Amino acid sequence: DAGVIQSPRHEVTEMGQEVTLRCKPISGHNSLFWYRQTMMRGLELLIYFNNNVPIDDSGMPEDRFSAKMPNASFSTLKIQPSEPRDSAVYFCASGPGFGSDTQYFGPGTRLTVL
Amino acid sequence: DQQVKQNSPSLSVQEGRISILNCDYTNSMFDYFLWYKKYPAEGPTFLISISSIKDKNEDGRFTVFLNKSAKHLSLHIVPSQPGDSAVYFCAASAIGNQFYFGTGTSLTVIP
C-alpha cells in the first residue's frame, strides 16, 4: 500500500493567495483527518470525515479554511485568502473506521505564507 | 486549551540508557492513549498504545505506563538507540471520538 499521499509537499505563497492542499487516503479507510502542526499547539485537528461526510469541523480556525471530500479517495483543504500565520505543516491522516484505534499519517505539506 | 500536555519540549539521553517521555491529560473521559513517533520531513507513525483497562503495555524496547488517578502516562525506551532520535507525540481519545495530541517531545539519543 502506498500509504496516505499528500501534495504538494512544500508550498510557498504570498499573503492573500488561495492555497489548496490535497490528500489521498489509504484505500479502504473510512475516516480522514486534517491536522495542523505548530510549535505552540502541536498537532491540532482541523476537521475529520467519516464515509466522506464531515463529522466535526470545530477545529477549523476561521472561515478562510474549508475542506471537502468529494469521494472516498480524495480530500482537499483550502485556505482563501492565506495569511502568514497559516504557515505550518499540514497533515492528512486516514483510519480504517470511525473511532479506530490508530490513524495513518501522510508526509505532510509544509506551507509558508509570505 | 490543551487537553493533552507534554511539558518537556526536548530530552537528551546517552545511548544505552533509558529514555522517559511524559504526558499529562485533563479529560477523565479519555480511555485510549497512543504514542506516535515523527522523523523530520515525515508524518507521525504509530508506536504503541494502551487502553484504560491496563496500566502497562510493552512492545520490545518500548513500554507505556498509565496512571489513571494522576492522569499521567509515560513512554519508556530501554535501551535507547540513536535511531530513536525523533519527536514523540502523545495522544488520547475517548472511544469513537477524535484524538487529541500533545505538543511533542524531541528526543535526542547521543551515541
Is A105 part of the contact surface with chain B (CB cutoff 8 Å)? yes
User: What torsion, rounded to 10 degrees, do the Cα atoms B54, B64, A29, B103 define?
Assistant: 120
pLDDT tens per residue across span A10-42: 999 999 999 999 999 999 999 999 999 988 888
| pLDDT number for residue A11 | 97
| pLDDT number for residue A105 | 95
Is A53 part of the contact surface with chain B (CB cutoff 8 Å)? no
pLDDT band at residue A99 under the 50/70/90 scheme? low
The alpha-carbon gap from B104 to the nearest alpha carbon of chain A, in Å, equals: 6
Burial class (CB in 10 A: 0-12, 13-18, 19+), A84: exposed
Cell numbers 471520538 correspond to B97
Contact call for B103 and A39, based on CB within 8 A? yes
Residues of A with Cβ-Cβ distance to B36 under 8 angstroms: 105
